[in-house]
A = this chain, B = another copy of it.
Amino acid sequence: VSSATKTFFGSRWVAAPEHVRDLGAVAGLPAGFRASGVACGIKPSGRSDLGLLRCDAEQPISAARFTTSSAAAAPVLLTRERCDLSALRAAAVNSGCANAATGERGLRDASHMQEAAAQALALGPHEVALASTGSISHYLPMERILDGIARAGADLRADGDSEFQRAIETTDSFEKRASLEVVLHGGVVRLSAQCKGAGMISPRFATMLCFVQTDAALAAGSVDALLDRALARSFDRISVDGQLSTNDTVLLIASGASGIDVAAASDDEQRFAAALDALLRQLAVLVAADGEGAGRIARVRVRGGDPAEAELAARAIANSPLVKAALHGGDPNWGRILQAVGGALPGSAPLPLEIAIEGMTVCASGAATEYDEEALKRSVQGPEIDYEVTLPGEGAEAEVLFSDLSHEYVTLNAEYTT
């Protein structure tokens, strides 16, 4: 268990609670869930591209979050409009085509896909969330989708999470999946997730998707709030290239099949929340670390100022191609951090910034300090680099995790669409 724990909770920016155990990759889904994945020919490569997830409990509790893009894809629009997001029982997901920028025909295709999945899963269409990821502006190949749904529907298994995971991946270079055990006072519950994403990244092979399952019997009002809180510290805090996808979706379903009740505002709910936080935060780190072409990731924490300023400054640093290129090159070029903050917070009065890299103060009151250049350079050669920025004033804090900017990113994103 100890080495498996290290495998999933690998980032120094994620504190895995002691009451959470990593069960490793072969544990299967929590009680009350089945999943499957098949290749139905959406991806030219022939790789797996259609997945189904079903909760077999009669009255699961769910919560979902979607991209805030005003160019949201058809599956997002349809799921938001047609489903009761607190009572979802299944998800039908395809990769290889985002069904985005597809207009009325895209909505009809999504509706058709949802109805077919509902039929295959013996559920109502309003109980089935849809998600798609892949190329923008292409229509779903409906014959293949329907064929895939029929086959995936016949193949649902309690240990189908790895097949489901493969079906939702696109440019991911490693698996982002976890099966955890959460020790509550009331008993042991399971928590699992399947996630894909190499950042918000390419609209060609776009999008971050994450499906989370637990067999805990969570309180009806809790699931939504727990997801909100965990997202605020995980997927809301990462950037590969500052590009919001048309298809981002996160879905949490609690089956209650363990029979272990987690009452609202109880100590066990806190324990469950801590587990969910750690799970999503580690997945978010993995998405940033798998940013297209990424070789190194960083965390920037901005303290001080007001919340809007701290957020602006942190985002400006995380999305600066100069900061990201320096991160890539193992170059502790903090002038670029200062420049990014200065540009994000315009003003004629000089900003008395403090900047620290890996705990070494390099800039105070907006001016260079004395520091050991060689030690500083050595400190930025690892896989995870810490930047800290202090603005004048107190109270606010904003954190963003981000990947570097590499040649590989340019190569992956400069190729022709077709």
B367 engages A334 (CB within 8 Å): no
Q: Contacts A321-B405, A329-B414, A405-B410; is A335 near B72 (CB within 8 Å)?
A: no
* In the complex, chain B residues whose CB is within 8 Å of the CB of A368: 101-103, 137-138
Q: Contacts A137-B363, A325-B414, A417-B333; is A71 near B348 (CB within 8 Å)?
A: no
* In the complex, chain B residues whose CB is within 8 Å of the CB of A414: 325-326, 328-329, 331, 405-406
A365 engages B103 (CB within 8 Å): yes
* Per-residue contact bits, chain A 314-354, to B (CB 8 Å; 1 contact, 0 not): 00000011100110111111111011111101111111010
B373 engages A328 (CB within 8 Å): no
A329 to B409 alpha-carbon distance, docked (Å):
12
Candidates B204, B241, B242, B244; contact of A335 at CB < 8 Å: B204
A101 engages B367 (CB within 8 Å): yes
A201 to B416 alpha-carbon distance, docked (Å):
26
Candidates B71, B202, B363, B417; contact of A366 at CB < 8 Å: B71
This chain: how many copies in the complex?
2
A367 engages B104 (CB within 8 Å): yes
**A18 CB-CB contact with B under 8 Å:** no
B416 engages A339 (CB within 8 Å): no
Number of residues from A at the complex interface, CB < 8 A: 77
Q: Contacts A322-B243, A325-B410, A368-B103; is A71 near B342 (CB within 8 Å)?
A: yes
**A86 CB-CB contact with B under 8 Å:** no
B339 engages A69 (CB within 8 Å): yes
B342 engages A244 (CB within 8 Å): yes
* In the complex, chain B residues whose CB is within 8 Å of the CB of A71: 338-339, 341-343, 350-351, 353, 366
Q: Contacts A321-B243, A410-B325, A411-B407; is A418 near B339 (CB within 8 Å)?
A: no
Distance (Å) between the CB of A313 and the closest chain B CB? 10
> A residues touching B (Cβ–Cβ < 8 Å)?
68-72, 77, 80, 100-106, 135-138, 200-204, 206, 241-246, 320-322, 325-326, 328-336, 338-343, 345-351, 353, 363, 365-368, 373, 377, 405-407, 409-411, 413-418
